[in-house]
């Protein structure tokens, strides 16, 4: 069955949707009539307020607590997400973390590497596997959107584990795009630059200064809405002949300039 033949509003699972970019995506989808599953790990208040805000905008949403890095967490998430409204049409792999401490790669610990890779790569890799199996079993066309980062291609020696996790996500996007296209499931990667959220709060003043001096061709910081609008463009069907595509949402930061 194709998505257009399914009855009722489409269902989106957005990981890490209580705050930041994920919240922006959840609100944008909710406002446009999607049923939204708002996953979070620890901040129940933010997730509840996201659900409330979607409700106030006339949409439907539910919060699901689960740690995407843990296999039991993903099992819970899959069960509750699919059970909520009978299926999932869109997975947005947004949940992510920076290293708890920025340290030189010569000082990086195995514990920090494992933690960041677990949340940013192993979690979305196996969650996507679970959702893809569900979509195939239900003969349900669908969309998967991975929130990568310009750190996939820009080296930051003070957070190497983060860069490596996002480079891995780039290959994960290609692998699932290739594997799932014949089943009508398209996979995209959004690659944000510097976006104003809790994650960047500690370095925001420095980035704000750099950006005002021309560090990025578009001289402003990004907002969660910038990423959310790209998601909307994808799910509204404006890229029907593309899969495995990377869309930079970075004010032009990826451009090589002289």
Tell me which residues are annotated as active site: 162
CB atoms near residue 249 (< 10 Å): 22
Which segment (19-27, 102-110, 137-145, 234-242) binds ligand NAP by CB under 6 A? 19-27
Number of residues that bind ligand NAP (CB under 6 A): 30
Tell me the β-bridge partners of 11. Answer: 35
Binding mask 158-197 for ligand NAP (x = CB under 6 A): ----------------------------------x-xx-x
Q: In this chain, which of 28, 30, 36, 40 binds ligand NAP, going by CB under 6 A?
A: 40
Query: Residue 147 is inside which H or E element, if any?
Result: strand 142-147
Closest CB to ligand NAP among residues 137, 201: 201
Q: Given strand 11-14, what is the order of strands in its sheet?
A: 60-65, 35-40, 11-14, 90-93, 142-147, 185-192, 245-249
Tell me the β-bridge partners of 168. Answer: none
CA-to-CA distance for 116 and 216, rounded, in angstroms? 27
Per the CB < 8 A criterion, the answer to whether 133 and 178 are in contact is: no
Closest CB to ligand NAP among residues 197, 243: 197
Q: In this chain, which of 95, 172, 180, 231 binds ligand NAP, going by CB under 6 A?
A: 95
* Binding to ligand NAP in span 198-257, by CB under 6 A: 198-200
Closest separation between CB of residue 187 and ligand NAP, Å? 16
């Amino acid at each position: 069955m194709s998505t257009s033949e399914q009855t009722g509003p489409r269902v989106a699972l957005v990981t890490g949707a209580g705050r930041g970019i994920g919240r922006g995506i959840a609100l944008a989808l909710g406002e446009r009539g999607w049923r939204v599953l708002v996953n979070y790990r620890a901040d129940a208040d933010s997730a509840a307020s996201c659900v409330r805000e979607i409700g106030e905008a006339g949409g439907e949403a539910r919060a699901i607590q689960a740690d995407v890095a843990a296999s039991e967490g993903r099992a819970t998430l899959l069960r509750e997400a699919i059970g909520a409204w009978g299926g999932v049409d869109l997975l947005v792999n947004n949940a992510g973390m920076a290293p708890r401490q920025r340290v030189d790669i010569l000082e990086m610990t195995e514990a920090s590497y494992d933690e960041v890779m677990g949340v940013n790569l192993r979690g979305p890799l196996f969650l996507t596997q679970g959702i893809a199996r569900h979509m195939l079993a239900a003969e349900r066309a669908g969309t998967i959107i991975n929130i990568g980062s310009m750190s996939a291609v820009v080296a930051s020696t003070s957070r190497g584990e983060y860069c490596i996790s996002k480079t891995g996500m780039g290959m994960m996007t290609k692998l699932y795009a290739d594997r799932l296209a014949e089943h009508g499931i398209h996979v995209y990667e959004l690659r944000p630059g510097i976006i104003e959220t809790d994650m960047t709060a500690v370095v925001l003043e420095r980035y704000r200064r750099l950006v005002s001096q021309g560090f990025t061709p578009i001289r402003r910081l990004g907002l969660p809405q910038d990423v959310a609008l790209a998601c909307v463009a994808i799910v509204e069907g404006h890229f029907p002949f593309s899969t495995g595509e990377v869309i930079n949402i970075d004010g032009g930061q990826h451009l090589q300039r002289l």
